[in-house]
Structure 1
């Protein structure tokens, strides 16, 4: 999100801006590796960010990004340079067009001036310097994700039961009319378990609001993907937009709920899910051996400071208080509070109304 806004700001002539994203992490403190030496030591590390406080919240200063050239892929252009993207292909292309001294756009088709209705143009000609009509386009799909026809049985994979247990419980967090963002990985599966009695508007960072299920095999479209690069469908009333617009929705507080996978979470809601040692990858929130994911303090570099409100695992559900810490509110049926204590790397309070849940539960 910060990258998208840095590019957008560069194209708008804004040299820098303040954002709360990254405060309390290596982004703010500096020292994150940018380049390594051949022996594995850090050759170049990031610099600390300037910090200011607005209305009781801390923000860091981010400088805008511009370039000499922007190489952009679009769908169609007219001979004047007005361009149109197809479905989710706007992503970073749209702000990139505006942030370079010279913008070169490759399109599938060039049409005569006047062929586009003015209101259909995504990037006006003032931002485009050169046009190129490509040939023999091959639109590769990075992650082909399809759903089985109704009645067909999906093949189970190792770990599916645990993932399904987590995500079925997470799907109970949805409320009717809610706007929700689903992070890459297991959270994306939540769309398959939304109650048919409610309407949830799913948003994806690459630029779509109104995500539907994975496509059937004959519905696959390489220009329609989610932020995880998986093929998707959209529901009636959906819309497409650029990545800077997408993250502005989130930053502006217009999205009601975000679900993310986590490598580690602290008792006060710190999140670590972006940087790990090469030899150490941990699955979503479940315990592997004696490795705890819910800790007194995260040992991995933080993604966000005190940004988690609820933790859902395959064993338990915790509410997070930024000052008091964790409160256990639900446990998986058949488990005890002692089982949860053994799997948790910090202390926690226990709610007087702690419930047991299962994937078959319709109400917790």
Structure 2
């Protein structure tokens, strides 16, 4: 056989036959065969990478009801899955976070919507496993919490009483550690959004918009991609294909407006211009906040990878000393997180875990949520810093729910689930707004993780925490006595022989 001649004929045949793999249809055609009572996986994080064009198309098919929707959250009013919540097409949500979505919260608390709360990393891994043909797996996130014990409210009655709780999880020990068994999720339908897709279904996701889209696209019987740009085969470099076309059944052109949930910009000031000294009023909220942030900045160690919670933790790197260099990770898929953008440079595909606009530093990288939490779960993140409602004397952390108010745990349970490898630093006021202690013998609020906190930084004092020995007071704010600290802590503690004044310079 003449191989060069055969090769030319094969290439010609292949080019012609590519049309057999073309999957581009209208939104109406893409959803026309979808029936009720499906499990729908919907990509996106906040408003980034949300397939709104597909959601709008499904919204018009009002006969498609009884949906179990799987997504990190449900967007906001008039965006994301909130549209299907408003029409009553969703019966149940599997999510990690309610957040400030009032529609979601109201339907849940009045018994019109079931909710299976799942730690964010576990949610991503459940879908990754489903797409990989793995029926179940074990994770540390949620051990010792309502996730394990089956105390999460699944369904409320119309008068506000809880009528159904989650089921307890199977627990096993591996190498001396306890793990929860989680079942994989494999959906009937997946809606995902890509920046670019070729007509064979090969997808390229832009920056942090990859989030859950990558894993969800692999984990359904029928996957539809909404793309901003539809191109011919070969126009995406094979090395840039994040989701191969084998997983994709249909493609539509995205027409929905790209939105930003929280526009946050830099004011152009350098770190030395920001709160150089706490306000004169020692007890003002601004002064307390400044002390905590400045003291927290001393926790970073040169060369570390760190993950920061929303609020005060995100401000702490502004006060890093010049000889300390760190790499920040955001669990929605960014390593090498940079500062807020300058006005006009905001990008809807570049947000942090708090849904704020950000930038990425040179040497940074993007990846899916499933890989982000693999980094966290395996202990590649050296430190996580986050806020708290309560901490116990042995390091139990409560920061995701209050009695009668459940917003969701997001990624917090994942972040504190490996304290032997990831240092957990808590920043908070020593007492709450009513003057009640936040450091207790035992947490009253639902736990985020047991015996996970290693250091507590407050406005008046700093404590080290040992899971067996308890609390040690190591620093106090200037002018604060040990007796005053004792009056504001509802747990016993030792005083370090090297007790010092908090360093906020």
Give the TM interval when normalised to the shorter protein.
over 0.9
Structure exhibiting the larger radius of gyration computed from Cα positions? 2
Shift of 1:115: 0.5
Q: Choose between structure 1 and 2: higher helix proportion.
A: 2
Counterparts of 1:69-218 in structure 2 under 5 Å?
69-135=189-255, 137-150=256-269, 159-218=285-344
Q: Secondary structure at the match of 1:341?
A: helix
Q: Which runs of 4+ in 1 moved over 4 A?
A: 151-158, 278-281
Give distance in 1, aligned partners of 2:331 and 2:437: 30
Q: Deviations over 1:135-189 (max 9, x none)?
A: 2x42211111111123797799983332222121111111111011111232122
Asked if the contact 1:333–1:358 (Cα under 8 Å) also holds between the matched residues in 2, the reply is no
Equivalent position SS for 1:184: coil
Counterpart in 1 of 2:185?
65
Residue ranges of structure 2 left out of the alignment (5+ in a row):
1-120, 408-426
Equivalent residues in 2 for 1:245-256, closer than 5 Å: 245-256=371-382
Using the TM superposition, give the Cα deviation of residue 194 of structure 1 relative to its aligned residue in structure 2, in angstroms. Answer: 2.2
- List aligned pairs for 1:158-307, cutoff 5 A: 159-278=285-404, 284-287=428-431, 288-307=433-452
1:67/1:100 contact within 8 Å kept: yes
Q: For residues 170 and 82 of structure 1, what CA distance do their matches in structure 2 show?
A: 44
Residues 203, 52 of structure 1: CA spacing in aligned structure 2 closer, same or farther, 3 A cutoff? same
- Deviation per residue, 1:32-67 (Å, 9 max, x gap): 101110111112200001111111111111111121
Choose the corresponding residue for 1:339, options 476, 480, 484.
484
CA distance in 2, matches of 1:248, 1:115: 31
Residues 268 and 342, structure 2, Cα contact 8 Å, conserved in 1? yes
Would the aligned equivalents of 1:261 and 1:284 in 2 still touch at CA under 8 Å? yes
Distance 1:29-1:279 versus aligned 2 partners, 3 A rule:
closer
| 5+ residue gaps, structure 1 | none
Q: CA deviation at 1:134?
A: 1.8
Distance 1:319 1:154, change over 3 A: closer
Aligned-partner Cα distance in 2 for 1:240–1:161: 36
Native 8 Å contact 1:7 1:64 kept in 2: yes
Task: Give, in whole Å, the separation in 1 of the partners of 2:287 and 2:266.
Answer: 18
Q: 2:496 aligns with which of 337, 351, 363?
A: 351
How many angstroms apart in 2 are the aligned matches of 1:24 and 1:307? 11
The structural deviation recorded for 1:195 is 2.1
CA distance in 1: counterparts of 2:359 and 2:157, whole angstroms: 44
CA–CA separation in structure 2 for the residues paired with 1:312 and 1:123: 43
Q: TM-score, normalised by structure 2?
A: 0.68
- Taking structure 1 as the reference length, the TM-score comes to 0.94
Q: Deviations over 1:103-161 (max 9, x none)?
A: 111011101100011111111101111100122x4221111111112379779998333
Q: Greater shift after overlay, 178-187 or 88-97?
A: 178-187
**Match for residue 18 of structure 1 among 138, 162, 170:** 138
User: How many Å separate the matches in 1 of 2:402 and 2:269?
Assistant: 39
Q: Which moved more, 1:211-220 or 1:346-355?
A: 211-220
